[in-house]
Structure 1
């Protein structure tokens, strides 16, 4: 099957999957609900998530149950799409599982470093170990970041992480998260090189802005919260961005302080990431994701015979799941709908 024929088939499937995503009315209805059980009931009766809830009693579901079910649905839909591809393309798309596996590893790390709540930790992990690269039973026994890294010995993560076993307990969570993200882009970049040139350009066009913004976020955190050296921050940054070259990234990292860094960014097209008195990570993350949301929506509407529709669906599906989790979390803390909207990726 030639690539145009393959993409025509894949895009037809994706178009039907796009048609199932929640619309504005679903979002407004979810925002009006009062607890996790009502959200689970709504999802079961009114949305395509009902197929994953058919054997579940919504009245017995809590926030964690909903989150796991949503993530499991993502695995199912990813599996369906990956089956259309073979060879290097299948390998490239399977590397996206690594992104979500890293989410699970970060969850374990945060539990170890911050929450200290180890109850049901195994049940909360959806992606880690999907292809048996990771021994789940080893990582859930870890009680420190050092032990978690040691539990990853023998995986493709370990060669990059082992240097973090240096006794620095204060910064280990940040450095672990940064290193895991960098590993993902290293692996993805190697897989990307094996795709045709057109799809490589499509990927860079769609994700290059995200890489730019991710570098900005990392540099900001390193300077604002951890006082890392400019050299160390620079070592964590990722290439393949759209706007910033090696020289620009290095200049940002070597800004004398976080104030100078922010001023430099405000003079770029990413100035929207920083607003007066609203530099908190959560708002920065939302701005990044909302930027990508509109960019991916545009790619979806072009119906090109390339990898763009697939990439757009995977990200927009993930954004929807993150929004539902945000709504569920907001309801848990008794926030009203208007307040929860501030934290959503989708503009309502």
Structure 2
């Protein structure tokens, strides 16, 4: 994905970057808006979607849908292992649909909103409207690569109503597929993926380890079972050592030993961990998006910045809806 193949994608990245809400000047102007003005502004951000709702969850879904359309359009310019990697990357939206369907069934809610992912996937709204139970959904998944995961997980979900372990299994399945696709790429591409996209996924893994151990009160072995070291950026011994932290404070102390966390000067605790993770990502990838047009890192970085931008937009909407002060919102937002 180096050279002419990637250079053809770079203009698309530049165009889509105009909608990112990361620059301090942009965010300061949004902070001065009231709720109605902010919603009106957000409706102008869609490149391939239109907004017709003020519901935060639906808005977030629509903004994330743009990410799928970006990956889909980029894949048209690619071939070989690069195209295969992006296709697997986009599977996260299919997996998110499975999670949404499962939650709806458990909570007795209608399945009304899913990601539109086109192609040959049947895990879309038009195919699942008549599914009424987990048994129906299991039958529906028969013959798909997700069937065994569902078959093993649904009995426990029926019993306790918890989808957490199933969702973690789906995430692990996705990571293994992603790593397999990455293994077929060239060394330069692997290095760029490790330094951006897998770095991003690894940081999110740390957030989930914290939640598993200290929010859900899972044991060390339970946590290792549902959050194995698939990504592999952190050595296995060190990874286990983090999970074995006896308290949240010890956990934070251990991850502070990573040089990328050392750049955070303020307090890191359970509440601020996720925000600090996204700030680290922003600092790491913000320059790569303006790099040379044949670099894969610019493409990967744009997607990460897109995710951070969505987080900012949703934070602003929720903050304005709940009358947060500008000072409180600034503490929650991620700006460069």
Interval containing the TM-score (normalised by the shorter chain): 0.7 to 0.9
Alignment of 1:105-124 (within 5 A): 105-111=98-104, 116=107, 118=109, 121-122=111-112, 124=113
CA distance in 2, matches of 1:176, 1:275: 35
CA offset at residue 74 of structure 1? 2.8
CA distance in 2, matches of 1:182, 1:171: 21
Q: Closer, same or farther in 2 for the Cα pair 1:171/1:334, shift >3 Å? A: same
1:77 maps to which residue?
70
CA distance in 1, matches of 2:218, 2:150: 17
Structure 2 unaligned segments of length 5 or more: list them. none
1:6 maps to which residue?
5
2:46 maps to which residue?
49
2:191 to 201, 221, 225: 201
Is 1:103 equivalent to 2:96 in the alignment?
Answer: yes
1:264 maps to which residue?
254
List per-residue Cα deviations over 1:59-101 (Å, max 9, x = no partner). Answer: x754455334423333333322111112322121122222233
List per-residue Cα deviations over 1:91-131 (Å, max 9, x = no partner). Answer: 21122222233334444455556xx4725x42x32246764
Q: Closer, same or farther in 2 for the Cα pair 1:130/1:338, shift >3 Å? A: farther
CA offset at residue 311 of structure 1? 0.8
Q: Secondary structure at the match of 1:167?
A: helix
TM-score for both structures, normalised by structure 2: 0.81
2:59 maps to which residue?
66
1:218 maps to which residue?
208
List per-residue Cα deviations over 1:188-243 (Å, max 9, x = no partner). Answer: 1111111111101110111343343233223222221333332232232233343x
2:270 to 265, 279, 283: 279
Q: Closer, same or farther in 2 for the Cα pair 1:150/1:266, shift >3 Å? A: farther
CA offset at residue 161 of structure 1? 4.4
Q: Closer, same or farther in 2 for the Cα pair 1:64/1:40, shift >3 Å? A: same
Alignment of 1:149-228 (within 5 A): 152-167=141-156, 172-228=162-218
> What is the root-mean-square deviation of aligned Cα atoms in Å?
3.5
* Counterpart contact for 1:149–1:161, Cα < 8 Å: yes
- How many residues align? The count is 331
1:291 to 263, 280, 298: 280
1:238 to 229, 237, 250: 229
* Greater Cα shift, 247-256 or 181-190: 247-256
1:335 to 324, 327, 331: 324
Structure 1 unaligned segments of length 5 or more: list them. none
* Counterpart contact for 2:149–2:169, Cα < 8 Å: yes
* Counterpart contact for 1:300–1:309, Cα < 8 Å: yes
Q: Closer, same or farther in 2 for the Cα pair 1:133/1:92, shift >3 Å? A: farther
TM-score for both structures, normalised by structure 1: 0.79
CA offset at residue 186 of structure 1? 0.7
CA offset at residue 298 of structure 1? 2.3
* Counterpart contact for 1:215–1:237, Cα < 8 Å: no
* Greater Cα shift, 129-138 or 12-21: 129-138
